Amino acid sequence: MILKMRVIAGLLSAGLLVIGCGSTNIVSTPIENIDAIPLKVSPLTDTQRQHWGHADLISDTIPGMSVDKAYEEIIGNKKGKKVIVAVLDSGIDLEHEDLDDVIWTNPGEKAGNGLDDDGNGYVDDVHGYNFLGGSYNEQLEYARILRLKLGDEALRARAQKKLDEEVKKAAETKQIILKNIQQTTPVLDIVKKSHLAISKQLGKENYTKEEVEAISTTDPDLQRSMNVVQQMLNYGDTIPGVIKLIEADMANFEEGLAYYSEKLDYHLNVDFNGRKVVGDDPYNVSNTNYGDGDPMYQNKEESHGTHVAGIIAAERNNGLGANGVANNVAIMSIRAVPNGDEYDKDIAMGIRYAVDNGAKIINASFGKSFSPNPEWVYDAIKYAADNDVLIVHAAGNDGMDLDNLQNPGFPNDHSFSGSEYADNVITVGAIDQTYGSEMVSSFSNYGASNVDVFAPGGAIYSSLPGSKYEFQGGTSMAAPAVSGVAALIRSYYPNLSASETKTILMDSGLSTKMSVVVAGDPSKAETFDQLSRSGKMVNAYNALIMANIMSNKKSKLP
């Protein structure tokens, strides 16, 4: 297997790979062949699991982005420029202990006075804007298309086919989960009661199978309890341990039941209308007077935006839960993604809001397979490009090849025309923590033309509402990792444009020609370098080296 450092053709020579940094020379990792480097075979420690996306492949044998190495050897005590990163997502916990000092504050707005103090068209937008108002649950777009009879007959037929497939799948899965709950609930009850009886008989909480066998009794109830715990001890060393395993299964079943119930009640329910509480016409782009200035999360389950924000910019080295990738960042919260499919109008409005209010990077960890008004979003993306704003977009979690026109993904930077209409969008797939054949996350979409890079996205530890922390996985987590690296580039090398930042992110990464499993299916294995345009994993250390070279070269131009 070959892991190479690739560089912009014609820009770098061997001599340019050395960067002066005080008295220290920083040199891009000169690795041409890593066959001799032992890869990690032991499980990651808890600390490594919580921080793996920042690790270095060469020194840690974990396929992170070399973030720690970048801070230690390149950034050090350098002072960069503050960069505003807009998180176009669900609401964010603006008071989270690890985010409260990195939340953007609109300098021209006074909180709570009901006025548009800065004249930007938005009232009380102190930390961003909420385009969803009080809504949370939403339909998927193809259910809305059918409810409102949007588009032409062909679009509605495709929407109906998709809806029928998904309703059938969700209903069948929900029934399987219900059956598992119905079967597991009495088992758990019997095991607990049996354990209580045996513990009382033996006078202790933990016991061996041999100790249970040695009990002499004619009590039929106690005999039944003995039989139950002896059987259960085949699945674990202690009955309390077995009970925890069963309870964990039950928790997973309950979570799955809630997910599929929610899907059937809201996402796939043609009669549901989550937008009616907002009061606007979401299919009229000129109807812009809606929403409010409070982009705080509004539901205890609304964790996505907070998790994304933490990956980008959770306060570093403060002794709390997680470190963000970037320092010198102000997170602008734009609440535009509900629990369901986002509206094209909200995304277009959100992009324009971010651009107009100073964001240099927009993180877009969302996407959908139907879009009745994609041109609104395309125009907003072009507007961002015209104003030098980089958009980092998650590739999606369907395990699909986005180059296949049967798998449309929205938004995108090509409008299915065969060429990109803007040079400011970078689409990100996800990798997992173990380097090797199963490195690509089984859920991650891919595409040699329509996915640009890969980054850590499997089981990422970050912030949750209420100053909590947890692991979540998805290309939604890979995109903010890249947004964080982009923020480092734009902070320390502010003369580089959005397009140049995209080029650096794509060209400075690590690449391998090893065969990897795609979509969790070994029969779909491909070489990693064929799964994206760059064929690479984003690497912060090498990106900053390349950014330094490009910045110096650019500053010397007449």
Closest CA to 445 of 468, 425, 474: 474
Q: Which two tokens stand for residue 212?
A: 């249970």
Say if CB 191 and CB 232 are below 8 A apart: yes
Closest CA to 5 of 434, 554, 534, 548: 534
End-to-end CA distance of the chain: 43
54, 96, 304, 393: the active-site residue: 304
- The amino acid that residue 523 corresponds to is S
**Looking up tokens 């998180």, which residue turns up?**
87
Q: Which two tokens stand for residue 1?
A: 């297997």
H/E stretch holding 264: none
Closest CA to 395 of 476, 507, 309: 476
- C-alpha 534/C-alpha 529 separation (Å) is 7
- C-alpha 294/C-alpha 124 separation (Å) is 8
H/E stretch holding 115: none
- The amino acid that residue 501 corresponds to is T
Cα→Cα distances 281→47, 275, 341, Å: 48, 9, 16
Say if CB 345 and CB 140 are below 8 A apart: no
Q: Three-class SS of residue 511?
A: strand
Q: Which residues contact 18 (CB under 8 A, 6 or more apart)?
A: 25, 26, 27
Closest CA to 90 of 308, 324, 312: 308
- Between the CA atoms of 520, 523, 528 and 534, what dihedral angle is there, to the nearest 10 degrees? -90
Q: SS3 breakdown of the chain: % helix, strand, coil, rounded to 5? A: 40, 15, 45
H/E stretch holding 462: strand 460-464
Q: How many helices (H) and strands (E) does the chain have?
A: 14, 16
- C-alpha 66/C-alpha 58 separation (Å) is 9
Strand locations in 277-396, DSSP E? 329-335, 361-364, 390-394
**Looking up tokens 């690590």, which residue turns up?**
510
Antiparallel, parallel or unpaired: β 453-456 and 425-431: parallel
476, 483, 497, 508: the active-site residue: 476
164, 189, 265, 281: the active-site residue: 265
- The amino acid that residue 363 corresponds to is N
127 carries an active-site annotation: no
- C-alpha 490/C-alpha 392 separation (Å) is 14
Class of residue 200 by CB neighbours under 10 A (exposed 0-12, middle 13-18, buried 19+)? exposed
304 carries an active-site annotation: yes
265 carries an active-site annotation: yes
The catalytic site residues sit at: 265, 304, 476
